Structure 1
Amino acid sequence: MNTHIDKRCKKYRPVDPTQKVLVKQPSVSGFGSSLGVSKFDQLRCRRALAEMLILDELPFRFVENRGFRRFCFELCPLFDLPSRRTIVRELYQLYIDEKMKLKKYFSRSKVRVCLTTDTWTSIQNINYMVVTAHFIDYDWQLQKRILSFSQIVDHKGDSIGKCIENVLIEWGIDKVFTITVDNATANTTAIGYVIKKLNSWQDDGAILGGKYLHVRCCAHILNLIVSDGLKDLHDSIVAIRNAVKFVKSSPSRLDRFKNAVAHEKIGTKGLVVLDVPTRWNSTYLMLESAVKLRKAFERLGEEDIHYVNYFRDDENEQKRIGPPNCDDWDNAKVFINFLATFYDITLDFSASLRVTSNIYFKSWCTIRNQLNLLTNEIDPLVSKIAVSMQQKFDKYWGGLEKTNNLLILAVVLDPRYKLGYVKFRFDSIYGVEESQSMISKLKGVLLDLYEWYTRFYGSSGGGAKETDDVFSFGVGGGLSDDLEFGRLKATDEEDSLW
């Protein structure tokens, strides 16, 4: 039959695989389309299917669903749908291709990266560690790539340091700007180990010999400060948490609460969320949502006997604190106003797709001023919490010697603030005399950085060369050979996945 169709049949004319057809092409933004020409490519279709599973977080067996296979057949009968085992191999090959592109970029561009790492233990008592790289490309775009997610033996400093060393060797990275970690003591040992290795690999492996390589996670420090202030939770928070637990404990109770919200005509569609007691930001969200629905809780107290009995004495259980009264709701408002600033700053610090180093000093000043005001608050509850937080703040961020000076210099290099803004803040916080000494130290750090960069890079003309377009990761059929020195070019066969 194949011989008849291919050679003898005069009525059947096979389609030229190189023939392009008129199709609608999606725009770059993903909305709308325009007319263009394209041709069917089995490999590109399979790679696009693999990327769909990644981007939409779909299971491998999705490709074998009857509905999806029927849809693909009607859409393009020429496409041979792979099985789940075949698509797994395609996904792994996609990972290998993208890894090779990134390694080639690191080796040719010699970009200096900032690393972020963290370790934790799963519920199966298995230790894990992740290493993420952030760097600025020559188009001044912030790039983020997860380099490693692996098991480690323990949380000791030597184990963490060796894991970071293996990641740097595997990816061909020998220039590191900073490493951001939490405040665990083991991380100090790990950073010291990495500094020693970077300095042994090459002279400019670490800035100023690694003096400012160690950056303590600002979001983690802020979490320690606020958590220390809230360690003795007020009964008002516990009472509101118990009320939320009652509402969230069963579907019937949640339905009765929704009816109460509807009868009170509360103009919000959101429902209460139960917090995690060890995470203060979730407690803030719980209080914020509960206060908005206060009238619904009060209606439950008037009409729902089960809600009232939930807080009464029980022979078998200890009496629960609650239900929340007027004083509890007023105290909740105080907590919300108190924590709002810290919650917003935590969100700013936690951003991963934009540069945050230049907002550190301004946020630091905001937190310090806020604590100074709250320690003198008339409300004894607020002042007690603020005093506890102030002590923790002084422990981690008390002065210039307790913070990485590069985070302050980021504000100096920001044209919106410069050194005058730092001097103004220091004058108002420490006084003019002490401020002059601190500004003098910052100028010394700036001078050291300038001399270090001049010694290693001054002979190249003082300017960075444009050597990359950064990335051509995507739907191509593999690693592109269309590479100039240090430049990864995006071609028609390789569109951007991200």
Structure 2
Amino acid sequence: MIIGFKNVDDHKGSTTARVLVDCLAEWDIKRVFCITVDNATANTSAMKKFKEEFMNQGEDALEGLNEVDDSVTAIRNGIQYVRSSTNRLKSFEFQVDTSKMTRGSLPLDVKTRWNSTYLMLDQAIKFMAAFEKMEAEDKPYIDYFMELESGKKRIEPASTTDWEEAERLVHFLVIFYNLTLMLSATKGITSHKIYNEIVTITRNVSKISSAPGDDETLRLKALTMMGKLRKYWNPFSEVSEFETTKSKSCKMNKLLIVVTVFDPRKKMNFANLFFEKLYGKESIDYNLLSESITDIMKRLYDEYS
């Protein structure tokens, strides 16, 4: 939805920031995922000022505007070097050949799209040994990381720790990538699959967030994500159009579960199995969810009849 066209009196960053804040205020918008601008210098100042002012509305206002992880940036910088000229690519392919690896493409991600970052890292990890040999033997590669970028020295070539961090991130993101492919299919119906995949995400993230072990970094990331998941999947929320007060349960749109019940291979037994996996069969949440779905089904039937 286009919420408005606004006149910006001048090209000052403070003016752009003020117009943007005022526009969002008109619609009572208090949370922003991302903002897209062109590469005009004034926009850098505008986004800085906007962030400072908009953050005053609450610490969760800017959900997606986080700093890029240094480990990912280090790997991305290495790929940018390899892709920047034919000679650099030949040098990299020489290291690939001498390391007895199969050649392959090195995609560069779109920083604002997590799935493209996943694909970039997944492919780059296969050539980790070649990048390490570049660092050890290729002086132009080292010199590249000594150059300034936007007035700052580039993050150094990916270290062993960076590659380990990337492997953890890929292990985490593959869960979402595979499910995204399934749900974004265009040649078949996917609505009856959504709840199944949401349960899969919840169970995987929950397992990682509670698993003891050495991978504390990944566990903390999963723990943070569980906090966001609970905002949408927690019990005891507002009553929806097809719910009675007695049957209110979680914040999600329960029609996602209803459409699963309509799948003749699954029906209500399948939905109850998910409730059991998520909350435990003897829990209050299990009983409330099961009752609420049955209640919605009855009310839908009454509406239909």
Given the two structures, how large is their TM-score scaled by the length of structure 1?
0.44
User: In the alignment, which residue of structure 1 is the partner of 2:146?
Assistant: 312
What is the correspondence of 1:97-496 to structure 2 with a 5 Å cutoff? 231-267=66-102, 269-312=103-146, 317-377=151-211, 378=213, 379-399=215-235, 400-431=249-280, 432=282, 433-454=284-305
Partners of 1:263 and 1:228 in 2: how far apart? 44
Structure 1 gaps of 5+ residues are 1-117, 122-154, 157-182, 186-226, 455-498
State the Cα distance separating 1:244 from its structure 2 match.
0.9
Q: Deviations over 1:398-428 (max 9, x none)?
A: 3454222221111112122221121122123
State the Cα distance separating 1:351 from its structure 2 match.
1.7
Structure 2 gaps of 5+ residues are 5-22, 25-30, 34-61, 236-248
CA RMSD across the alignment:
3.1
Q: Is the 8 A contact 1:257 1:296 kept in 2?
A: yes
Partners of 1:382 and 1:120 in 2: how far apart? 38
Percent of residue pairs identical: 35
The structure with the largest helix share of the pair is 2
Partners of 2:232 and 2:82 in 1: how far apart? 40
Partners of 1:292 and 1:228 in 2: how far apart? 32
Q: Deviations over 1:27-52 (max 9, x none)?
A: xxxxxxxxxxxxxxxxxxxxxxxxxx
State the Cα distance separating 1:232 from its structure 2 match.
4.5
Partners of 1:298 and 1:184 in 2: how far apart? 39
1:450 alignment partner, SS class = helix
- Structure 1: which amino acid aligns with 2:208? L
Distance 1:366 1:333, change over 3 A: same
State the Cα distance separating 1:119 from its structure 2 match.
6.5
Partners of 2:134 and 2:88 in 1: how far apart? 10
- Structure 2: which amino acid aligns with 1:264? S
Q: Is the 8 A contact 1:240 1:322 kept in 2?
A: no
User: In the alignment, which residue of structure 1 is the partner of 2:246?
Assistant: none
State the Cα distance separating 1:434 from its structure 2 match.
2.3
State the Cα distance separating 1:252 from its structure 2 match.
2.1
Which is further off, 400-409 or 313-322? 313-322
Q: Is the 8 A contact 2:148 2:154 kept in 1?
A: no
Q: Is the 8 A contact 1:274 1:286 kept in 2?
A: yes
Partners of 2:66 and 2:148 in 1: how far apart? 28
Distance 1:332 1:228, change over 3 A: farther
- Structure 2: which amino acid aligns with 1:390? M
Partners of 1:230 and 1:271 in 2: how far apart? 29
Count of residues in Structure 1 that have an aligned counterpart in Structure 2: 238
Q: Which has the higher contact order (CA 8 A, sep 6+)?
A: 1
Q: Is the 8 A contact 1:412 1:422 kept in 2?
A: yes
State the Cα distance separating 1:371 from its structure 2 match.
1.4
Q: Is the 8 A contact 1:229 1:389 kept in 2?
A: no
Q: Deviations over 1:6-27 (max 9, x none)?
A: xxxxxxxxxxxxxxxxxxxxxx
State the Cα distance separating 1:365 from its structure 2 match.
0.8
Distance 1:273 1:422, change over 3 A: same
What is the correspondence of 1:14-25 to structure 2 with a 5 Å cutoff? none
Partners of 1:291 and 1:320 in 2: how far apart? 20
Distance 1:314 1:439, change over 3 A: closer
Distance 1:406 1:397, change over 3 A: same
Partners of 1:235 and 1:301 in 2: how far apart? 17
- Structure 2: which amino acid aligns with 1:411? T
Partners of 1:243 and 1:283 in 2: how far apart? 14
The structure with the largest strand share of the pair is 1
Instruction: Work out which of the two has the higher radius of gyration on C-alpha atoms and give 1 or 2.
Output: 1
